[in-house]
C-alpha cells in the first residue's frame, strides 16, 4: 500500500494563480494524495475555484474559515490531515509533475528518514504557465545526502545563506506525520517558517536532502519579499530568532545556539540593507536606527560566546560582523 501524503494548501486572494497550483497537484504522477485546501477568508474568487476543483476530484477537501493568517490556515490543515506524510504548498506556487513520486523514491532509497527535502527555483509569475519546462531546463546533476538532525541544523544556521533558505522553508519537504503531532505554526506572525522548521528538524532523527528542482516558487508582485519592510515584519523575524537560540540553549546545544545568535546579527544587517534599497524616509530612518541599536546591544552581549563556538567557515562572517559593529559605533 502506497503511503498517503496530506498536502495542505492555504488560500488567500490567489484567484489568478490557484488553478495552476491545483492543476500541478492533480497532475502528479504519484496519486495517493489527500489535498486539503484551506480558504482563509479569501476576498476574491479563489475559494470558489477550490470548490469547483473539489467537485472534479474527490481527493480535494475544501475548508472555509474566517481570515486568520497563513499560520492558522496551515494549522487547520494539520488538524484535518490523515496522511502518513505531510506536505505544504502555497496556493500561488506550482509543482513539477513528479514532485511526490520523486520524494517517495528518495524516502525509500534513503531508508525512510523522517524528512525528505528537495530544492526549488524562484520563477516570475509571468512564467507561471511554463514552470515544468523551466525546472527541467535548470535541473542540476542529482546529489542526495542523508544527515542527522544536528547536521541539518548546522546547515540551517551555517555560513551559506543559500543553504539557509533551502532548509528553512517548509514547502520543499515532506514530513512524517508524527513530526507535526503537536508542532503548530505561530498564529499572527510573519516569517512563520522561522518559528517552526528548526523544531521539525530537531524532532527528526534523519533528513534526506536532494538538490533536484521540484518546486516552482512563484514571485508575484504582492510577494512579501517584494513589498516594503514593516516594523511588524522586523519584530516578528527578530522574535523568531530569539526563540530559536533560546530553544537550543534549553536543549544544551551551544554550537547551534551560537550559530543562531550569529544569524540574528546577520539578519539585522540584511534588514538594514533591504530598507536602504527603497526610498529612505523618516519611518525607514527610525527602523535603521532601531536595528543598528539592537545589533550593538546583541553584539556586546553575545560576540564572545559566538566566537568561542565558531567553526572555521564562520570566521569570515564574524569578521564582517566586527567591521559593521565598528562602522555603526562611529
201, 121: one domain: yes
175, 292: one domain: no
Domain membership flag for residue 274: yes
CA distance 100 to 88: 12
80, 210: one domain: yes
Per-residue pLDDT, averaged over 175-184, amounts to 97
- Phi, psi (rounded to 5 degrees) for 285: -60, -40
Domain membership flag for residue 87: yes
Pick from 197, 219, 241: which residue ends a domain? 219
Least confident window among 154-158, 176-180, 238-242, 279-283? 279-283
Spatial contact of 67 and 12, defined as CB atoms under 8 Å apart: yes
Pick from 168, 198, 219: which residue ends a domain? 219
184, 239: one domain: no
pLDDT at 281 over 80: no
Spatial contact of 11 and 76, defined as CB atoms under 8 Å apart: no
CA distance 144 to 166: 14
Domain membership flag for residue 225: no
133, 282: one domain: no
Buried b vs exposed e over 26-42: b needs ≥16 C-beta within 10 Å?
eebebebbbbbbbbbbb
pLDDT at 228 over 90: no
Domain membership flag for residue 273: yes
For 258, residues 6+ apart whose C-beta sits below 8 A from its C-beta are 305, 306, 308, 309, 310
Give residue-wise pLDDT tens across range 64-97. Answer: 999 999 999 999 999 999 999 999 999 999 999 9
Spell out where 190-318 has E strands: 206-219
Across the chain, mean pLDDT equals 95
Q: What is the pLDDT of residue 224?
A: 46
198, 235: one domain: no
164, 214: one domain: yes
User: For residue 222, what pLDDT band results from cuts at 50, 70 and 90?
Assistant: low
Domain residue limits at 256: 231-329
Per-residue pLDDT, averaged over 56-64, amounts to 97
169, 246: one domain: no
User: For residue 226, what pLDDT band results from cuts at 50, 70 and 90?
Assistant: very low
Number of compact structural domains in the chain? 2
133, 177: one domain: yes
CA distance 302 to 298: 6
Q: What is the pLDDT of residue 227?
A: 53
Domain membership flag for residue 120: yes
pLDDT at 16 over 90: yes
Domain membership flag for residue 142: yes
User: For residue 225, what pLDDT band results from cuts at 50, 70 and 90?
Assistant: very low
CA distance 49 to 64: 12
Instruction: State the sign of the Cα–Cα–Cα–Cα dihedral 161, 167, 170, 172.
Output: positive
Give residue-wise pLDDT tens across range 162-179. Answer: 889 999 999 999 999 999
Strand partners, 35: 7, 60
205, 283: one domain: no
CA distance 322 to 328: 10
Domain harbouring 213, CATH code: 3.90.550.10
212, 300: one domain: no
CB atoms within 10 A of CB 73: 27
CA distance 81 to 77: 6
CB atoms within 10 A of CB 133: 10
Q: What is the pLDDT of residue 223?
A: 59
Spell out where the chain has E strands: 5-11, 33-40, 60-65, 85-88, 94-95, 115-124, 144-148, 173-176, 206-219
Give residue-wise pLDDT tens across range 17-54. Answer: 999 999 999 999 999 999 999 999 999 999 999 999 99
Domain membership flag for residue 226: no
Q: C-alpha distances in angstroms, 118 versus 45, 104, 145, 146?
A: 31, 11, 11, 12
Strand partners, 210: 144
pLDDT at 130 over 90: yes
Q: What is the pLDDT of residue 159?
A: 80
Give residue-wise pLDDT tens across range 251-260. Answer: 999 999 999 9
Q: What single-letter DSSP state applies at residue 180? A: G
183, 52: one domain: yes
Higher-pLDDT residue of 295 and 221 is 295
Domain membership flag for residue 80: yes
Per-residue pLDDT, averaged over 215-238, amounts to 81
Q: Which helix (H) or strand (E) holds 260?
A: helix 254-277
Amino acid at each position: 500500500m502506497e503511503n498517503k501524503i496530506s498536502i495542505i494548501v492555504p488560500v488567500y486572494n490567489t484567484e489568478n494563480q490557484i488553478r495552476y497550483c491545483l492543476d500541478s497537484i492533480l497532475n502528479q504522477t504519484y496519486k495517493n494524495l489527500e489535498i486539503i485546501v484551506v480558504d482563509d477568508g479569501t476576498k476574491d474568487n479563489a475559494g470558489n475555484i477550490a470548490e469547483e476543483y473539489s467537485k472534479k476530484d474527490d481527493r480535494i477537501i475544501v475548508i472555509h474559515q474566517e481570515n486568520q493568517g497563513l499560520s492558522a490556515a496551515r494549522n487547520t490543515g494539520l488538524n484535518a490531515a490523515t496522511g502518513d506524510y505531510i506536505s505544504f504548498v502555497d496556493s500561488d506556487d506550482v509543482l513539477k509533475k513528479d514532485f511526490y513520486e520523486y520524494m517517495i523514491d528518495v524516502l525509500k532509497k534513503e531508508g525512510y528518514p523522517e524528512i525528505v527535502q528537495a530544492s526549488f527555483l524562484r520563477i516570475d509569475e509571468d512564467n507561471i504557465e511554463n514552470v515544468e519546462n523551466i525546472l527541467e531546463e535548470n535541473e542540476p546533476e542529482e546529489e542526495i545526502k542523508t544527515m542527522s538532525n544536528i547536521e541539518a541544523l548546522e546547515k540551517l544556521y551555517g555560513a551559506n545563506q543559500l543553504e539557509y533558505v533551502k532548509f528553512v522553508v517548509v514547502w520543499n519537504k515532506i514530513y512524517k506525520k508524527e513530526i507535526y503531532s503537536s508542532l503548530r505554526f505561530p498564529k499572527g506572525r510573519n516569517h512563520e517558517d522561522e518559528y517552526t522548521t528548526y523544531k521539525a528538524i530537531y524532532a527528526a532523527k534523519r533528513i534526506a536532502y536532494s538538490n533536484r528542482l521540484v518546486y516552482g516558487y512563484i514571485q508575484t508582485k504582492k510577494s512579501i519579499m517584494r513589498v516594503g519592510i514593516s516594523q511588524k515584519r522586523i519584530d516578528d523575524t527578530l522574535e523568531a530568532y530569539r526563540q530559536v537560540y533560546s530553544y537550543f540553549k534549553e536543549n544544551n546545544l551551544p554550537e547551534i545556539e551560537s550559530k543562531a545568535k550569529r544569524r540574528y546579527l546577520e539578519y539585522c544587517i540584511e534588514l538594514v540593507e533591504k530598507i536602504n534599497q527603497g526610498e529612505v524616509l523618516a519611518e525607514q530612518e527610525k527602523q535603521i536606527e532601531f536595528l543598528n541599536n539592537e545589533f550593538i546591544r546583541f553584539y556586546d552581549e553575545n560576540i564572545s560566546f559566538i566566537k568561542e563556538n565558531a567553526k572555521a567557515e564562520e570566521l569570515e562572517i564574524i569578521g564582517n560582523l566586527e567591521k559593521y559593529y565598528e562602522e555603526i559605533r562611529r
